[in-house]
Amino acid sequence: MSFKMSDRKKTIEHIMQEERDSLFRLACYKTGNADDAADIVQDVFLKIWDMDSVSVRDVKRYLYKSVFNACISYQRVRQDVVFTDFDGLDFLEEQPDDGFEEEYRRISVLLKMIPPEQAEVISLRTIGGKSFDEIASLLGVNVSTVKSRFRYGIDKIQKKIYSSVI
């Protein structure tokens, strides 16, 4: 007796494989830990795989929202992993060591300086490699809203950097 996968499951599996790398990168930058990021993505995949209530049309959106939410839960549990001191931006003057942890720390600090909806758009665009159209679809908002959140977030980060360097 052979198992035959439904067309719905095949489509969901294809979407998951297509988005795996992007979701992993996002989870890495949200958690600062590759092993935990892989676990988060895998847990989300398993949950979605077993859910019949998620329509194929909404799988991508659900994947990204679920990974973001799982990373937020991770950060709440592991307060020691999350860098929370934003007073000084001394790291901007340090020489990079090309390590993931240093890059994570820098990006994490900058993204925490702006509203979460702006940080989410910037993360999806820069880390996730998504287009503005894709981000709008994933978040369920229009493209102009996505572009505004991106621009306002970048502007706020630039102002913080500029004011701390002067």
11-35 residue pLDDT tens:
888 999 999 999 998 898 888 888 9
Local confidence band at 129 (pLDDT 50, 70, 90 cut-offs): confident
113-126 mean pLDDT? 91
Provide the percentage of residues in the chain whose pLDDT is more than 90: 34
Say if CB 43 and CB 37 are below 8 A apart. Answer: no
Residue with tokens 């004011």: 163
Say if CB 110 and CB 156 are below 8 A apart. Answer: no
Report the alpha-carbon angle 99-85-97, nearest 5: 15
Domains and CATH numbers, the chain: 1-82 (1.10.1740), 84-166 (1.10.10.10)
- pTM (2 decimals)? 0.65
57 closest CA partner among 145, 140, 146: 140
> Average pLDDT over the chain, rounded to whole?
81
How confident is the model over 132-144, as pLDDT tens digits? Answer: 999 999 888 999 9
125 closest CA partner among 100, 99, 151: 151
Residue 115 has pLDDT above 60, yes or no: yes
